[in-house]
Chains A and B, each alone.
Chain A
Amino acid sequence: MATHQEIRESLQAFLDNYQKNERLKTMNRDWDRIILVRATDVQFEHTISLKNGELEIMEGAPGQADLTVVSDSETLADLFYGDIAPTEPYMNGTLKISGSEDDILRLDFISLMIWGE
């Protein structure tokens, strides 16, 4: 089990890598979305906000999210640190993402653009 602090740090690593990726920022300029990240086994709720290609992370849940990412703490930390890709846990049900299929696919692309091979 990962701690609240570990998941927070993994999200920060995700953010740091996103910020370094100018191409990804360009790609996401048209995609303003609010994403809720929630752990199932520890108290953890954070909001990822994407606006004009800029990404921000905030503590707590948003009023309304376009996408909700829910998993156990270990999977979330692994995911945001890039130790695992989202596809396998998504396919085996460990990672649950709700939202439109287009948005889910796009989130997958972003994650792979940051951490892909």
Chain B
Amino acid sequence: MKKVVSVSLGSSKRDHSVEVELLGQQFQISRIGTDGDFNRAIETLRQLDGRVDAIGLGGIDVYLIIGQKCYTVRDGLKLMDAVRKSPVVDGSGLKNTLEREAVRTLAKKHGFLRPGTKVLMVSALDRFGMAEALAEVGCAVTFGDMIFTAGIPYPVTTITELEELAGKLLPELVKLPFHMLYPTGKKQEISDRDKARKFLSFYEEAEVIAGDFHLIKRFLPETLNGQVILTNTTTKDDVEHLEKIGAGCLITTTPELQGRSFGANVMEAVLVALLEKPTEMIQARDYLDILKQLNFAPRIKHFNEEKCLKAT
């Protein structure tokens, strides 16, 4: 049996383990949260190194791929460097391929994301593939990086401006402690009520809310009005909560395995274990080929088809 483990800076409350068969091979896929404790994450990674087939890094990004540029998050790299023997990935390779394809599929085959659909992408610099694909299919996208990361109520609405801001900000921001840029550990369990209230209109005006689920959840209003949520890494409780507050539909880009949608890092680690190639040799094409063999497709869960906003 192949063993894949995701070590996350996120809350240990979301820990789980499943066994699945993929392309005729048995997998045990586990997630270990370290509650934002960086040293514990490093220690856990060292313990697993060489004992598992692939490792995913969760709750943190290592590589932010923006167009032709790649920015390396310093804290993420420290975690990656703790692993010497097992292949280790952060999900960026899959975000750049699977999520891009997922948006295209939703637009072409499922009638979602029609031109002009108002999309709020809570953060785009961590999943530029999805951002580009949403713009490519003609959605009216608000990229919320300045709003939800820096607290600056400045909606970015074009890929060009997003890239320009990335060029100004990311070379320095990637050096900051990651917890300053993204909710880690306990912060993932609580919402930021002040900012949720302050930036409520961005959620209210959107027909689709897309991006990282921890960020979506952190600023989620008390009620929604049929919005489509396009994300991954949702648990059964998350799904129930979204339905309860009035989301119209949940689309997850990664497949559901025994009741939950796993993070991109976990799925990328699974693909790496299946490919059995050194990570530095893996190309986007490899991911796309194996995704096709696995028949991975976005999972669509309708909560309320009548109320579901016109994005559907």
Contact = CB atoms under 8 A, between A and B. Distances in A.
Contacts of A23: 154
Interface string B146-184: 100111111000000000000111011101100011000
Contacts of B146: 27, 109
Contacts, number: 52
Contacts of A102: 151
Interface majority SS (helix, strand, loop, mixed), chain A: helix
A108 B172 contact: yes
Contacts of A104: 180
Interface residues of B, number: 17
B168 A117 contact: yes
Interface residues of A, number: 22
Interface in B117-155: 146, 149-154
A117 B172 CA distance: 10
A116 B153 contact: no
A23 B168 CA distance: 14
Given A27-B146, A91-B175, A101-B180, A106 B151 contact: yes
Contact of B152 (A27, A91, A116, A117): A27
B150 A87 contact: no
A112 B152 contact: no
Contacts of B172: 85-87, 108, 112, 116
A108 B152 contact: no
**Which applies to chain B's interface (DSSP): helix, strand, loop or mixed?**
helix
Contacts of B153: 27, 30
A83 interface: no
B154 A105 contact: no
A113 interface: yes
A98 to B, nearest CB: 15
A91 B169 contact: no
B74 to A, nearest CB: 9
Contacts of A106: 150-152
Contacts of B168: 112-113, 116-117
Contacts of A27: 146, 152-154
B243 to A, nearest CB: 31
Contacts of B151: 102, 105-106
A26 B245 CA distance: 33
Contacts of B154: 23, 26-27
Q: Find the residue from B154, B167, B171, B181 having the highest chain A CB count within 10 A.
A: B154
A88 B152 contact: no
A96 to B, nearest CB: 15
Given A101-B180, A116-B168, A109 B175 contact: no
A54 to B, nearest CB: 16
17 contacts: A27-B146, A27-B154, A30-B153, A85-B172, A86-B172, A87-B176, A101-B180, A105-B181, A106-B152, A108-B176, A109-B150, A109-B169, A112-B173, A113-B168, A116-B171, A116-B172, A117-B168
Interface of A: 23, 26-28, 30-31, 85-88, 91, 101-102, 104-106, 108-109, 112-113, 116-117
Given A106-B151, A109-B169, 15 more contacts: A87-B175, A91-B175, A101-B180, A102-B151, A105-B149, A105-B176, A105-B181, A108-B176, A109-B146, A109-B152, A112-B169, A113-B168, A113-B169, A116-B168, A117-B168
